[in-house]
Amino acid sequence: FAAMAGDPLLAAHPELFGAIVGGRHLFCPSSPATRQYLRELTESVFRKAPDLGGLINITHGERGTTCLSALGGSVDAPIPCPRCGQRPHGDVIRDSLTAMAAGIHAAAPDAAFISWFYFPHVNEHAPWAHTIGASVPTDVVAQFNYESGGAKTQLGRVRHGGDYWLSYVGPAERFARQAAAARQAGVEVSAKLQVGCSYELGTVPFIPAPGLIYRKLRAMREHGVNHSMFCWYVGNYPGLMNHTGGRLAFEDFSVDEHEFLRRLAQPLWGAAAEAAAKAWELFSAAYENMPFSLMFQYYGPQNTGSVWQLSAYPRLRPLSPPWKPIFPPSGDALGEALAGFSLDDAMTLMRRVSDGWQEGLTYLRQGEAQARLNPERRHDLCLAEALGLHFENAVNLLSFYQLRQQLFTGGEEATLAKMRRLAERECALSLQLAELCEEDSRLGFHSEALCHRYYPKLLRRRSELIRTSVLPEIDALASAMQSGQTPWQAFLGLPEAPTVVAPGAWQPAAGGGYAWRFLLEDDDFVLEVKAEDGAGAGFLSVYMIDALGVTFPINLNLNWGKDGLAVRSDNYLHVLGYNAPHGAAGRYACSGGGAASLRWPLAMLPTAERRMRLNLRLNASFAQGNGYEHRLYLAGFSPEQTVLLQW
């Protein structure tokens, strides 16, 4: 529902289009011609394919559709279209859906039409986004994300999560408000969730925690939900969880969770049913402890940690999104996954997941001894064992980098011995998981990546690299410390160590076009940038992360123009639900000579032990390196391509 400049449809019928976003011309439902086009389009599809059961339309979300797509769900503003901007937001959606529904039902009166409003982000949404369901025609089903934007208390703090979560029962308050508005208008409601597994662990076919699905669907019933979509990419694999969802779709919830699980297990596990049901209860309880953070969900070690590259030194190699196979295995910049969590808190929660899972495994293993398992149940046991390794691996990685942090902040040589033991365990763990992969080829496959993100050859290669590279590196660091060097001195003596920059000296940008320096004035950190052409430069992006890579990076984007510097955006809002405080706390100034000054209180920056890693981007030019492939919510920066500020 969008056209780029030069599109023949746009050239022939400009009246169909309205708002423009990112060069895309969006369909304008306020135009009668657009409504006619939408009606004819959907009718033609259903006449040519008369047996279609229906249509699911992402009405607002990932891609541009109507003029309303010019606004994110959190933006409370008029639509930037001369026609739609004069109308309530809901009226624009109603016109679009009414036209599409008329076309569908003219050809197929019984076909279903589901209008999906994909609002995945954490931050608070605008009033129109909460009430949009009331504008959906009554012959259309309104679908909303069930967990997105939810709140959950973990370790005494309220955490917020975006997108989909199996480990969070929900529903999110946002969903409850959206569903209520739709129901009050006589519109049927659908819940979008991912039943088998979700992005917090999507490299297995499913997570055997059916108690969580019981609770989700029971809550849906209480909220008057008539329909549900059980998967998109991940979570689609046939097995226990989608079987459970299918059973629960017809459940009246007259029996409690424990009894439901017992009945669910009986035909599947036979004599081992009681043991299986108990294991599932423990698995569900354990899995609920998954750190409720969008970045941990997307980038945390629980997905592919079994092939992560270990490093005794803070090289800060970037993390990789599991759903993108173009990236190598993740490195050691663990902080990229820790939005909203300290390393200690993440490890506490993952220990609870791992310990609880191991307890559940004892019951499943008892069940194996009690009954003769068919091949499908043996695969289920293999999956549960593999998940036990996933969670142990996540704890090992978090612990390894916690120990590295202690070592580089004054820890003793004995810390290295603990790191070595963890590395040795990881060496063995990868080999164990490789054996399980050979038994069950589903392991490691990510449905969105459409490939295996770990597999026997890669796991064995990682084990070999730990044995031949990581363990010798730990031993070499121990020798260096015995000879009187600090860990930092040993690291900075390596060829791949970052460039060290001291206060005051101007540094030419690697990409050219400007120079920069930093100063310490009173209790402030001052960053100065000088454009070579002596003019305002357009776009300035500042990237900061702690020197050991264990805190979530700060990325502020500023407009630099004739009238000064102004913060345009940051990387906190969509993942934490609020803007980075550093933006508002900063003081920004520029001169007509192309010089800019950015000042922040030193205490609020990630400057442990008088060190910090930094990079800048002025338009297309990076201060260090040449940028990195775009990663969701991490932009084009790599923590490895930074300088080390030291004072």
Residue whose token pair is 């920066």 = 637
pLDDT band at 592 (very low <50, low <70, confident <90, very high): confident
State mean pLDDT over 423-428: 99
Mean pLDDT lowest among 1-5, 439-443, 569-573: 1-5
Q: Alpha carbon of 438 to those of 386, 392, 434, 441: distances in Å?
A: 12, 20, 6, 6
List, for residues 14-39, the tens digit of each pLDDT value: 999 999 998 999 999 999 999 999 99
First to last CA, the chain: 54
pLDDT band at 535 (very low <50, low <70, confident <90, very high): low
From CA 528, how far away is CA 508, in angstroms rounded?
12
Q: Give the 3-state secondary structure of residue 542.
A: strand
pLDDT band at 533 (very low <50, low <70, confident <90, very high): confident
Rg (CA), the chain: 27
pLDDT at 534 over 80: no
User: Do residues 520 and 600 share a domain?
Assistant: yes
From CA 564, how far away is CA 393, in angstroms rounded?
48
Which pLDDT value is given to residue 172? 98
Domain assignment present for residue 325? The answer is: yes
Domain assignment present for residue 94? The answer is: yes
Show Cβ contacts of residue 279 under 8 Å, excluding neighbours closer than 6 positions. 208, 360, 361, 363, 364, 367, 384
From CA 235, how far away is CA 206, in angstroms rounded?
6
Which pLDDT value is given to residue 563? 81
Domain boundary among 235, 256, 278: 235
List, for residues 248-285, the tens digit of each pLDDT value: 999 999 999 999 999 999 999 999 999 999 999 999 99
User: Do residues 464 and 507 share a domain?
Assistant: no
Whole-prediction pTM: 0.95
User: Do residues 302 and 397 share a domain?
Assistant: yes
Q: What is the chain's length?
A: 647
Q: Which stretch of DSSP H or E encloses residue 220?
A: helix 210-222
pLDDT band at 112 (very low <50, low <70, confident <90, very high): very high
- Percent of the chain having pLDDT more than 70? 100
What is the SS3 string spanning 180-207?
HHHHHCCCCEEEECCCCCCHHHCCCCCC
List, for residues 36-93, the tens digit of each pLDDT value: 999 999 999 999 999 999 999 999 998 899 999 999 999 999 999 999 999 999 999 9
List, for residues 368-402, the tens digit of each pLDDT value: 887 788 999 999 999 999 999 999 999 999 999 99
User: Do residues 454 and 342 share a domain?
Assistant: yes
pLDDT at 537 over 80: no
Check which CATH number belongs to the domain holding 505 and give it: 2.60.40
Which pLDDT value is given to residue 536? 60
User: Do residues 459 and 547 share a domain?
Assistant: no
Is residue 144 within 8 Å of 73, Cβ to Cβ?
Answer: no
**What is residue 535's DSSP assignment?**
S
Order of strands across the sheet that contains 595-601: 507-508, 514-521, 524-531, 595-601, 587-590
Domain assignment present for residue 110? The answer is: yes
User: Do residues 443 and 546 share a domain?
Assistant: no
List, for residues 456-469, the tens digit of each pLDDT value: 999 999 999 999 99
User: Do residues 597 and 452 share a domain?
Assistant: no
In sequence order, the β-bridge partners of residue 146 are none
In sequence order, the β-bridge partners of residue 596 are 529, 590
Domain assignment present for residue 242? The answer is: no
Query: Nearest CA to 70 among 49, 89, 51?
Result: 89
From CA 544, how far away is CA 215, in angstroms rounded?
41
From CA 204, how far away is CA 237, in angstroms rounded?
9
Total tally of structural domains belonging to the chain:
3
User: Do residues 177 and 310 share a domain?
Assistant: no
Q: Give the 3-state secondary structure of residue 285.
A: helix
Domain boundary among 449, 483, 517: 483
Instruction: For 427, list phi and psi in degrees, rounded to 5.
Output: -60, -45
Which pLDDT value is given to residue 2? 85
Is residue 90 within 8 Å of 133, Cβ to Cβ?
Answer: no
Which pLDDT value is given to residue 562? 82
pLDDT at 107 over 70: yes
List, for residues 169-203, the tens digit of each pLDDT value: 999 999 999 999 999 999 999 999 999 999 999 99
Domain assignment present for residue 494? The answer is: no
Q: What's the half-sphere exposure (Cβ side, CA atoms, 13 Å) at 617?
A: 19
User: Which domain covers residue 558, as residue numbers?
Assistant: 499-646
Domain assignment present for residue 243? The answer is: no
Show Cβ contacts of residue 26 under 8 Å, excluding neighbours closer than 6 positions. 1, 2, 17, 18, 19, 20, 64, 65, 66, 67, 69, 70, 81
User: Do residues 459 and 591 share a domain?
Assistant: no
Q: Which two tokens stand for residue 169?
A: 């029962």
User: Do residues 450 and 350 share a domain?
Assistant: yes
Domain assignment present for residue 490? The answer is: no
Is residue 170 within 8 Å of 222, Cβ to Cβ?
Answer: no
Residue whose token pair is 């930092």 = 488
Residues 268-289: b if buried by 16+ CB within 10 A, e if exposed: bbbebbbbbbbbbbbbbbbbbb
Q: Which two tokens stand for residue 123?
A: 């931050």
pLDDT at 1 over 80: no
Instruction: For 406, list phi and psi in degrees, rounded to 5.
Output: -60, -40
- Supply the angle between the helices 414-439 and 375-408 in degrees, to the nearest 10: 160
In sequence order, the β-bridge partners of residue 228 are 191
Domain boundary among 451, 483, 515: 483
Which pLDDT value is given to residue 397? 99
Segments in 292-342 forming alpha helices (H): 294-299, 301-304
What is the overall mean pLDDT for the chain?
Answer: 96
pLDDT at 148 over 90: yes
User: Do residues 436 and 467 share a domain?
Assistant: yes
Domain assignment present for residue 247? The answer is: no
Concatenated DSSP letters for 403-453? Answer: HHHHHHTT--THHHHHHHHHHHHHHHHHHHHHHHHHH-TTTTEETTTTEES
User: Do residues 315 and 384 share a domain?
Assistant: yes
